[in-house]
């Protein structure tokens, strides 16, 4: 068990006691910004960061709304959630059946279920493509001050553009982080996960998540992207607001890596490489950005 799992287990045990679950035999699934545990009773426990109560509540409410509307998504257990333990919001979910990571077509299948739904009467915020970016830049102490100053300027530039963004498709509920890492495939088909960033905004934001995997990181092929566009009915790369949203996505991916590189030296080279790419110090696009777990 990693050092970071010790306080997580204490929170886990407190939350399980409050919710009536047995934590004996619990195994960590992922210990990152959110800590995910699997109980022996086939329950998944998600421990969010302190101060993220609103986001945790939104995840539960969105999951239940999706269930009511027949969207294939992970299911929150049917009791009052979140639960506070150790000063952190904790939520409980039904464990998925055997599954594998989804693919690009699974993502578009689920977006086509989500985007047409009427906006519900839920406490959903307006989409903010830059949520936590400023904090991440300040936390990115492995970078030089020159690089951090450049990221601050880029953030300000994109924020200004966002305020005057071009019109696009009608706004709807967006997932907020729609990529293959937030979709799994079971025997019954794809399932949508992780509603922490669900909000109301332009559906192009979800489409750009896949598009940048072609234009920026090269992890989605041109053929896969063509199939994605054909299924959804538009190519967001042809929209006049694409560069803005793609730039926001790139900034998010870069500052995420840079924030965690400050405390995880193994990520420092990748964080610096992403900054170098954005600053024009690396090879032409698409770049070879490595996944960060």
Measured from the Cβ of residue 247, the count of other Cβ atoms closer than 10 Å reads 20
Q: Determine the pLDDT at residue 156.
A: 98
Distance CA 35, CA 160 (A): 34
- Residue 42's region, left for phi above 0, alpha for psi from -120 to 50, else beta, is left
DSSP string, 243-288: HHHHHHHHHHHHHHHHHHHTT-GGGHHHHHHHHHHHTT-SPSSSP-
Q: Determine the pLDDT at residue 293.
A: 62
Contact 114, 120 (CB under 8 A): no
Distance CA 46, CA 224 (A): 32
Q: Which residues contact 100 (CB under 8 A, 6 or more apart)?
A: 184, 185
Distance CA 208, CA 232 (A): 12
- Counts for the chain of helices (H) and strands (E), in that order: 9, 10
223 phi and psi angles, rounded to 5 deg: -65, -45
pLDDT in tens, 30-85: 877 789 999 999 999 999 989 999 999 999 999 999 999 999 999 999 999 999 99
Contact 198, 124 (CB under 8 A): yes
286 upstream amide cis, omega within 30 of 0: yes
Distance CA 173, CA 177 (A): 12
Distance CA 72, CA 113 (A): 8
Q: To 5 degrees, how large is the angle CA 235–CA 237–CA 240?
A: 110
H or E element that contains 206: helix 204-215
Packing angle, helices 242-261 and 204-215, rounded to 10: 70
Distance CA 107, CA 189 (A): 11
Q: Determine the pLDDT at residue 3.
A: 37
Q: Determine the pLDDT at residue 34.
A: 86
Distance CA 48, CA 33 (A): 7
The 3-state DSSP composition of the chain as helix, strand, coil percent (nearest 5) reads: 45, 15, 40
**Could you tell me the pTM of the whole model?**
0.92
pLDDT in tens, the chain (293 residues): 343 444 778 999 999 999 999 999 999 998 777 899 999 999 999 999 899 999 999 999 999 999 999 999 999 999 999 999 999 999 999 999 999 999 999 999 999 999 999 999 999 999 999 999 999 999 999 999 999 999 999 999 999 999 999 999 999 999 999 999 999 999 999 999 999 999 999 999 999 999 999 999 999 999 999 999 999 999 999 999 999 999 999 999 999 999 999 999 999 999 999 999 999 999 999 999 988 76
Beta bridge pairs of residue 101: 184
């Amino acid at each position: 068990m990693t050092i970071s799992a010790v306080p997580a287990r204490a929170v886990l045990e407190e939350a399980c006691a409050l919710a009536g679950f047995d934590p004996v035999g619990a195994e960590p699934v992922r210990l990152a910004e959110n800590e995910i545990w699997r109980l022996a009773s086939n329950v998944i426990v998600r421990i969010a960061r302190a101060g993220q109560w609103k986001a945790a509540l939104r995840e539960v409410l969105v999951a239940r709304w999706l269930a009511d509307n027949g969207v294939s998504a992970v299911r929150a257990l049917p009791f009052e959630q979140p639960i506070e333990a150790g000063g952190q919001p904790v939520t409980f979910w039904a464990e998925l059946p055997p599954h594998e990571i989804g693919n690009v077509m699974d993502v578009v299948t689920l977006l086509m279920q989500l985007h047409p739904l009427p906006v519900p009467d839920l406490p959903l915020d307006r989409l903010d493509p830059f949520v936590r970016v400023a904090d991440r830049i300040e936390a990115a102490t492995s970078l030089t001050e020159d690089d951090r100053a450049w990221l601050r300027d880029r953030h300000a530039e994109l924020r200004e553009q966002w305020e005057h963004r071009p019109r696009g498709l009608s706004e709807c509920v967006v997932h907020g982080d729609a990529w293959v890492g937030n979709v799994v495939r079971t025997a019954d088909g794809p399932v949508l996960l992780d509603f922490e960033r669900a909000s109301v905004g332009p559906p192009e934001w979800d489409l750009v998540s896949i598009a940048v995997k072609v234009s920026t990181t090269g992890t989605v092929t041109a053929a896969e992207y063509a199939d994605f566009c054909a299924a959804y009915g538009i190519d967001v790369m042809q929209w006049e607001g694409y560069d803005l949203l793609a730039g926001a996505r790139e900034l998010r991916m870069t500052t995420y890596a840079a924030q965690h590189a400050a405390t995880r030296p193994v990520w420092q080279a990748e964080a610096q490489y992403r900054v170098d790419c954005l600053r024009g110090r690396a090879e032409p696009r698409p770049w070879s950005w490595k996944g960060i777990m």
